[in-house]
Amino acid sequence: MLKALIFDFDGLILDTETPEVLVWQSIYREHGFELPVDEWAKTIGGYGISNFDAAEHLSSLSLGRLDVDSLKASHLKESAKIVHASQILPGVISLIKQAKEKDLRVAIGSSSPHSWVDSHIKRLDILHYFDCIICQDDVPPGRTKPNPDIFLKVLGTLNVKHDEAVVFEDSINGVTAARRAGIFVVGVPNQLTARLGVSGDITVSSLAQLSLYDLNEHLKKRR
């Protein structure tokens, strides 16, 4: 019996990933280089697939002429402007409201720190929808996605079993973490993560394509 929905944050509730890559592309081109987008995309949701660092890579391409910390500061400043003007992705609130109508628990499980997730959740005025928010800060260092710790912590906090929850994820690292936790996962790849072949137990291009009824029908077929 379905009791809880667990949402990733970056790229799933809020599109923070497209602004990040667009700003990196702009910075790279400003210095005469191209960002290796496929390599960067592997870091989305955690560093299980790649340890690629866009600032360190660009500094290396410039033979050390460009300072890593300055590049990161410039990127953060410009991408933050875009992200802070961004709104919730389609279908998210509708699905959450459907869940609440059925008395399901709703949570966030994110590899980002609370300082990042909580600030946006408050800005978007959606904190009241969530029964718990588990982030990078809530698990041991190095145990974010693709490790299952974040999702296992959510299950424990909500007091639900792995087969009573569904995870929504946009990245390979997130899908892997959900599977390692034994939780049914809906893959919702974005333009970046679709390049890596992200797929869950079911996969949709947008949560606007999925209702709670549809989700329950998929779960029935799985049993």
CA 75/CA 24 separation, integer angstroms: 7
Q: What angle do CA 182, 178, 57 make, to 5 degrees?
A: 145
Active site residue 10: yes
DSSP 137: G
Indicate the helix (H) or strand (E) that contains 56: helix 54-61
45 within 8 A of 201, measured Cβ to Cβ: no
CA 222/CA 184 separation, integer angstroms: 9
Burial state string for 64-90 with b = 16 or more CB within 10 A and e = fewer than 16: eebebeebbebbeebbeeebeeeeebe
Active site residue 125: no
Residues 6+ apart with CB under 8 A from 27: 58, 71, 74, 75, 78
Active site residues per annotation: 8, 10
